[in-house]
Amino acid sequence: MANLKKDQKRFDRKVNAGVDHTRSPDEPEPDLAAPDSASVRPEIITPVRVTPKVPGKGLPLTERSNLIKGVTLTIAFVLLVTGGFWLWHYLASQPPQQTRTEMSVSEQNQPVPEKTIETPEVLPETAPDPAKLAAEEKEAEKKLAEFMQLIQQLEAKGVSQWGDPAYGEMIQLSEEADRLLLESNYAAAAAKYAAAAARAQTLIGQIEPVLERLLAQGRMALDKGNSGLAQQKFSIALMIDPDNRLARHSLQRAKNLDAVMQLLESGNRHEKAGKIAFAHADYQEALHLDPESKEARQALARVKGQIRNAEFQQMMSEGLTALHHNDYQLARAKLLKAKSFRPESREVKDALNQVDQSIRLARIETYRQKATTAEQAENWGQALDAYLQVLKIDANVQFAAQGKERALDRIRIDKRISFFLQQPAALESDRQLENAMALMAEIEEIDPKGPQLKDRFEKLVRIVDAAQTPVKIIIESDTFTDVAVYKVGKLGRFESRQLSLRPGTYTVVGTRDGYQDVRKKIIIKPGQSLLRIPIKCEAKI
């Protein structure tokens, strides 16, 4: 643009200078030093470059000669114009002084006054310095480029929507700069462009604060239900920052605002009419369109509270009814559902405690019945398990504590009876016989005795009696052998001797000097018939 303007100005100066570009090269050159050409600023014209054709392959010789002559005259004309311009410039800045020889004789004979009043010398208007003018033009174009870069940045941010009054001042300064540039007043144009760029820099510095202000104004409009104003503010904010998530999200909220308000009004009408389900649907849809709507959230919470209250009362009623019918599991489920609506309700806590107590007592009773049945069947292991389950529920239940001890005693007695019944030989030991007799005494104290205990006790009595009943044996010897019976004592020498021994295992030993000892092991069983045992040392050493 600037180059086109420069070319236009150059063309105008050429026209004003009256340069006749149509004259032939043979016409005389214009007198550039003439007095009437003082106001004409000559223009340096760059000669047209003409590439002559190669001889023999282009123009005829005559045409080539004329062409060369024209080019030569053009170059000469340019040199003449340039020399005349510099001569004119020199004469205009330093007018020639008349020498003393050129003065007339009368002027030389005139006396010189002592003091003369110097009048200011009126100089002709000097032509602008081309170098300075070019530098000013270049500076103006530089300032224009800087301003255009800033204005493009601002236009991309939608400055026309938010930048007043600084934006208006910037545009006015740029228009004044354009006018001065067209008038070739480059220095003033550069100053105006610089001032406009300063306004642009000010606007760029305001982008972030303006964005925050627009977002705040948009949110305020949303809160007041002004959809149009909110959309306007958020749209301008998106011009400044197209990637701003808050502005984009809020703009969508503003677009949905009218529909949200209609749903809120509809829900309010349904709520007043007692149509809670319809009100709930409207409020829920409004909150779906605008999850950040305080009114929709509050209205939905209010309706949900009414629904929860109705469901709470229903769950409480069903829970208490189930409790009265001893359906504790159903009662507990209903009351827990009621608790989900009102976690801090004292009424629910009391009802649940009552259910828990009923369930606890029911479980205790169930285990008590199991224990009683097990005792009647003399299954003391199952009885013990049932009593332990009761004590887990409540360690202070007396019947369970007593039943536990009773079951443990009966289990211990059963184990001891089983031991003696399965290993009656153990009664050969005096200590075990005493233990069996003590066990019998303990069993005799039990009242009542179950059928199994009676039967087992009688078996124990029989084997204990058998273990205590002596069996007669006869030991036969030769009067030379010394006889001894372990656990009985030394019997001495004899030919025959009768002993009464309790059932059990005994060892009879015979010794005699010069003879090998004789050792015999005998087993005496309860009720065994008369037993004869010979003991004689007959093998000499």
- The stretch 472-491 carries a mean pLDDT of 91
- Of the candidate ranges 114-128, 334-348, 504-518, the one whose mean pLDDT is the lowest: 114-128
Q: What is the mean pLDDT of residues 140-149?
A: 90
Of 55 and 175, the one with more pLDDT = 175
Q: Encoding tokens for residue 78?
A: 């340019």
Structure tokens at 530: 């008369």
The amino acid at residue 313 is Q
Q: Which domains does the chain have, with CATH numbers?
A: 2-94 (no CATH), 143-205 (no CATH), 209-312 (1.25.40), 469-541 (2.60.40.1120)
Section 451-461 average pLDDT: 91
Angstrom distance (rounded) from CA 328 to CA 325: 8
Instruction: Say whether pTM exceeds 0.85.
Output: no
Report whether pLDDT(318) > 60.
Answer: yes
Q: How many CB atoms lie within 10 A of CB 150?
A: 20
Residue 394: both structure tokens together: 């409540």
Residue-wise pLDDT for 287-300, tens only, equals 888 888 888 889 99
Local confidence band at 260 (pLDDT 50, 70, 90 cut-offs): confident
Please, which residues have CB within 8 angstroms of residue 440's CB and are 6 or more apart in sequence? 457, 460, 461, 464
Residue 447 has pLDDT above 90, yes or no: no
Q: Which residues contact 519 (CB under 8 A, 6 or more apart)?
A: 507, 508, 509, 510
Tokens at residue 177, please?
């700069």
What is the pLDDT at residue 194?
92
Token pair for residue 262? 């209609």
Inter-CA distances, 384 with 204, 336, 343, 413, Å: 89, 34, 40, 14
Say whether pLDDT at 191 is over 70: yes
Give the residue among 158, 159, 191 at the shortest CA–CA distance from 173. 191
Alpha-carbon gap, residue 376 to 429, rounded angstroms: 35
pLDDT in tens, 67-109: 334 434 554 454 555 555 555 544 555 444 443 333 433 343 4
**Where is average pLDDT lowest: 54-68, 286-300, 517-531?**
54-68
Q: What secondary structure does DSSP assign to 168-233, as a single string?
A: HHHHHHHHHHHHHHHTT-HHHHHHHHHHHHHHHHHHHHTHHHHHHHHHHHHHHHHHTT-HHHHHHH
Band (pLDDT 50/70/90 cuts) for residue 9 is: very low
Q: What percent of the chain has pLDDT over 70?
A: 76
Does the pLDDT at position 493 exceed 60?
A: yes
CB 352 within 8 A of CB 336: yes
Provide the token pair at 52: 């002559």
User: Are the C-beta atoms of residues 280 and 300 closer than 8 Å to each other?
Assistant: yes
Residue 409 has what pLDDT?
92
Q: How many CA atoms lie within 13 A of 517 on its CB side?
A: 9
Which segment of 98-107, 150-159, 405-414 scores lowest on mean pLDDT? 98-107
Q: Where is pLDDT greater, at 525 or 148?
A: 148
Is residue 280 within 8 A of residue 307, CB to CB? The reply is: yes
Rounded Cα distance between 256 and 127, Å, is 70
Taking the C-alpha atoms of residue 170 and residue 200, their distance in angstroms, rounded to an integer, is 7
Cα dihedral 52, 55, 58, 62 sign: positive
Percent of the chain beyond pLDDT 90?
27
Whole-number Å distance between alpha carbons of 119 and 25:
46
* pLDDT tens, residue by residue, 420-440: 999 988 887 888 888 999 999
Q: Can you tell me the distance from the alpha carbon of 426 to that of 416, in angstroms, rounded to the nearest whole number?
A: 12
The pLDDT score that the predictor gives to residue 412 is: 93
Write down the H helix ranges in 18-129.
Answer: 61-93, 105-109
Instruction: Give which of 505, 503, 501 is closest to 463, Cα–Cα.
Output: 503
User: What is the amino acid identity at position 300?
Assistant: L
CB 471, CB 525: distance < 8 Å? yes
Q: What is the pLDDT of residue 57?
A: 35
